[in-house]
Structure 1
Amino acid sequence: MVELIAGNGKPLLGADLDAKVFEKMNCTVGTQGIVQWPGLQRLATRDLAAELRDKGCPAYTGCLREVFPKEVLSEADFEVLSGLLDANPERRLTAKAVLRKPWFRRFRLAGFCFVP
């Protein structure tokens, strides 16, 4: 979705190495969600989890709104995008939840709404 919205043909979080993708994700969507996620220590070394917490990252919310300002993305649009990109997988929006958001309710084809 983010790549469709950006329209430049480049992946927002694209990189050659997983570590670089993770770094871009932390910078863009923030670390607040990932630091609060209990599964971080299972995926990453304990050092990474401790490092993120020690750096004060638990409060960092990212710069996604700066990448997609209100002139580009309305509040309803941003709610969907930021929900899909939540760093905490347990809080990330599911496809079913996204389809119930106001952003999708605005778009209809032949009088039928996308929402099930």
Structure 2
Amino acid sequence: MDDLIMVNEEMGAFGLEDLMKADAEVLGNGRLGLACKAVLDNGLAVVVKRMKEMNKFGKDQFQVEIKRFKEFKYPNVLTPLAFHFKKEEKLIISRHMPCGSLSYALHGTFIFIFA
């Protein structure tokens, strides 16, 4: 059973198993959690964010937050492609943007925050 829930299939559909066997690179570890870049077998590069601040959320509340986040329509904000929900692990998957983070686009500096 695949526990990855697709919310946007514009880049194609993939499963949790595809993420688990993908080559991964740690991008950063901040206050909200760990971010890794994963390149799937089909060449799609995604960012997997493992959220630690959202562990207090129940599944229904987490889904509401993802759906609300999906509605953002700003050029520098990526909407999620998929998410994974377990009691102690919440993943948000979005497209990887090779030009850096929103923080870099706004401030022009690379900010790396250790939690």
Q: Which has the higher contact order (CA 8 A, sep 6+)?
A: 2
**TM over 0.5: same fold?**
no
Q: Between Structure 1 and Structure 2, whose CA radius of gyration is higher?
A: 1
Which structure has greater helix proportion? 1
Which structure has greater strand proportion? 2
So what's the TM-score if we normalise by structure 1? 0.24
So what's the TM-score if we normalise by structure 2? 0.24
